[in-house]
Amino acid sequence: MAKCSKCGKSGIFFKVNSIGKCKECEHIEKLLEEEASIKSQIEMLTAKRIETEKSYETIKTTRDTLYNQISEKAKKDALQAIQSEIDSQNSKLTNLRSEIDNSDKQLQEITLKTNESEKQIVSNANKLLKIKTQFKSLQYSVKRYNDYEEIPSQILNETEADEADELLSTTIKLKLHLMDIRELKKHYSQNNKLIRELLIKYQSRYTTKANLTIYRLMVISLEAELQNALYNLSYSKLDKSIKDIKAITAKYQKIATDGNQNIASTIIKFIGEIEFFYIEAIKIEYEYFIQKERIKEEQKAISDQIRQEAAERKKLEAERKKIEQEELKYENEIDSIKQIMAVTVDNEKVKQLEERLAKIQAQLDEVEKKKDEITHLQNGKAGYIYIISNLGSFGEKTFKVGMTRRINPQDRVDELGDASVPFAFDVHSFIFSEDAPDLEYKLHKQLHNSRVNKVNLRKEFFNTTIDELEDLVYSLEPSAEFNRTMLAEQYNQSMSIDEVPDDVIIVDDELPIDEDEEESES
C-alpha cells in the first residue's frame, strides 16, 4: 500500500510519484517553486525600477540644469537682441526727428517764399490786367478807326491830376451793385483808374480854353451817360446797354467833330478808346447780375433736389413695402414646405420638396438683396451718376452729366428724353456710388470750363469729347463701365428718310388693346 512521503496519506489505490509524493503535494511543490521564481523576478524588477528611478532623477536633474542654462542663455541673447533693436530704432527715430526738423525749416522757408510769390503773382496779375485792358482798348480803337496815331502822354504832377480828375467827374456818384463783391469792386476800380488816366492824357492835348472847355463838358456828359447806362442795367439788358454806349459815343463824336474840325482826329481817337473802357465797366457791373442769377438758380436747384429726393424717398418706401410683402409670401411658402417635409416619408417626394425649397430660398435671397439696396438708398447718399448724349438734339460733343437716386436710373434718362427733345438720349455710363453727390461734384468740377450754360449751373450740359469723358470717368471710378457708342437710332433713321408719309398710324405699345376691337379686326 503506497504512502505520500510529504503529507502521509496512504491507500490501496493511492498513487505516488517516483520520489514518493502524491499528486497534490507534487502540485503544491510546483506552485511553491513558481511562487519563488515570481518573487525572484519581482525582486529583480523592483531593483531595476529603483535603478531606473535613480537614472530618471539623474536625467531630470541634468535636464532641468540644461533647461535653466539654455533658458538663461536664450533670455540673455533675446534681451541683447531687443536692446540692440531698441538702440537701432532710437537711432532711426533720432535721425527721423532731425529730418523732420530740417523739413519743418525747409517748409517754413518754402511757405514764406510761396507767400511772397503769391503776393508777387497777385501784383503782377493786376499789372498784367491793367496792361491787357489798355492794350485791348488800343486794339479796339485801331480796329474802329484806321487813322489811329499814338498820342504822347504828358506827365502831370499829382496836384494837376487831382484837379483834372475833379473837373472831369460827375457831381453825383452811383452806388453800383458790384461794390458788394470784392473781386468785382477791385476789377471796376482798376478799369475806372484806366478811364481817369485816359481822360487826363487826352485833356493835355487841348491848349486853347475853348477846346478844353468843349472836351471837359463832353467828358462830364459821357460820364453821366455811363452812370445812366449802369443804373438801367439788368440781367436781360447787356446787349442793349452796350448798344446804348456805342450810340452815345457815336453821337458825341459827331457833335464834337461837327463843332470843331480842328479837334476831329483827336476826338475820334479818344472816343475809340473811352468806348472800350465804358463797355468794360458795363460788363463788370453785369457780372454782378450773372452771379446773382447763378445764386438764384443754385437755390432753385437745391429746392428741386430736396423735392426730388422727397419724391424718390416716397417711391422707395412704397417699393420697400411691396418687397416686404413679397418677402413674407416667400417665407410663408418656405415654412409650409418645411412642415410638409417633416411628415413626408417618401424619399422621392422629399427630394422634390428640397429642390422646390432651394429654388424658393434663392428667390427669397434676391428679394432680400433688393430690400437691402432700397434701404441703402433711403438712408444714405448712394445713387447713380449718369452720362448721356443726344446726337440729334445737341450734336456729338455735348453731354449731360447728372445724378439720380432712383432704383432704376434708366427711369430718369427716359424722363429726360420726353417730348421736350426730338430724340431719346443714349446712355454712356451708369456709375453707382456710396456718395453720389460728391462724385457728381468732382465730375462737374473737372468739366467746369466746358459748361454750355455758364450762368445757370443747374443746366448740366458740357461741351467735351467722348475720349475726355472716358478718361475722366476711369480716373475717378476705375471699376465703372463706359459705352463709347452713340446709337442715336431714331436720329439716324430720320436722316435716312427723305419724306414723311401722309398717313401715319401711331401705335402705342403701352396702351391696352380692347378685346372687342381686336376680335372685330380679326
Query: Considering 281, 303, 325, which residue would you say is the last residue of a domain?
Result: 303
pLDDT one-digit tens code per residue, 330-364: 788 888 888 888 877 778 887 888 888 888 888 87
Angle in degrees, CA 168, 174, 178, rounded to 5: 115
Query: Considering 303, 324, 356, which residue would you say is the last residue of a domain?
Result: 303
| 427 or 230, which is more confident | 427
* 113, 167: one domain: no
Q: Does residue 456 lie within any of the structural domains?
A: yes
Enter the pTM of the model.
Answer: 0.39
Enclosing domain of residue 103: 1-117
**pLDDT band (50, 70, 90) for residue 208:** confident
* H-helix or E-strand spanning residue 462: strand 461-463
* 217, 292: one domain: yes
Phi, psi angle pair for 136, to nearest 5°: -60, -40
List all residues 6 or more positions away from 189 whose beta carbon is below 8 Å from its beta carbon: none
Q: What does each C-alpha distance from 496 to 53, 421, 490, 492 come to in angstroms? A: 109, 19, 10, 6
Structural domain count of the chain: 3
Grid cell 467827374 is found at 169
What dihedral angle (degrees, nearest 10) is formed by the CA atoms of 400, 402, 407, 409? Answer: 10
CA end-to-end span of the chain: 138
* 298, 410: one domain: no
* 5, 102: one domain: yes
**pLDDT band (50, 70, 90) for residue 463:** very high
pLDDT of residue 291: 78
pLDDT of residue 519: 43
Q: Is the pLDDT of residue 401 over 90?
A: yes
Q: Does residue 138 lie within any of the structural domains?
A: no
pLDDT of residue 100: 87
Q: Which residue in 331, 227, 369, 230 sits closest to 288, CA to CA?
A: 230
Q: Does residue 152 lie within any of the structural domains?
A: yes
Q: Does residue 355 lie within any of the structural domains?
A: no
List all residues 6 or more positions away from 230 whose beta carbon is below 8 Å from its beta carbon: 174, 176, 241, 281, 282, 285
Grid cell 487826363 is found at 200
From 48-62, 345-359, 425-439, the region with the lowest mean pLDDT: 345-359
Q: Is the pLDDT of residue 166 over 70?
A: no
The distance from CA 342 to its chain's CA centroid, rounded to whole angstroms, is 54
CA–CA gap between residue 480 and residue 385 (Å, rounded): 10
CA–CA gap between residue 17 and residue 34 (Å, rounded): 20
List all residues 6 or more positions away from 292 whose beta carbon is below 8 Å from its beta carbon: 177, 235
Q: Does residue 127 lie within any of the structural domains?
A: no
* 165, 244: one domain: yes
Q: Does residue 342 lie within any of the structural domains?
A: no
- With a pLDDT cut of 70, the percent of the chain lying above it is 81
**pLDDT band (50, 70, 90) for residue 400:** very high
CA–CA gap between residue 89 and residue 81 (Å, rounded): 12
pLDDT one-digit tens code per residue, 18-46: 777 788 888 888 888 888 889 889 989 98
Q: Is the pLDDT of residue 522 over 50?
A: no
pLDDT of residue 173: 62
pLDDT of residue 387: 94
CA–CA gap between residue 156 and residue 18 (Å, rounded): 167
Query: Considering 278, 303, 328, which residue would you say is the last residue of a domain?
Result: 303
From 69-78, 85-94, 182-191, 300-309, the region with the lowest mean pLDDT: 300-309
Q: Does residue 471 lie within any of the structural domains?
A: yes
pLDDT of residue 289: 82
Q: Which residue in 419, 418, 417, 416 sits closest to 403, CA to CA?
A: 416
Q: Is the pLDDT of residue 106 over 80?
A: yes
**pLDDT band (50, 70, 90) for residue 145:** low
* 384, 487: one domain: yes
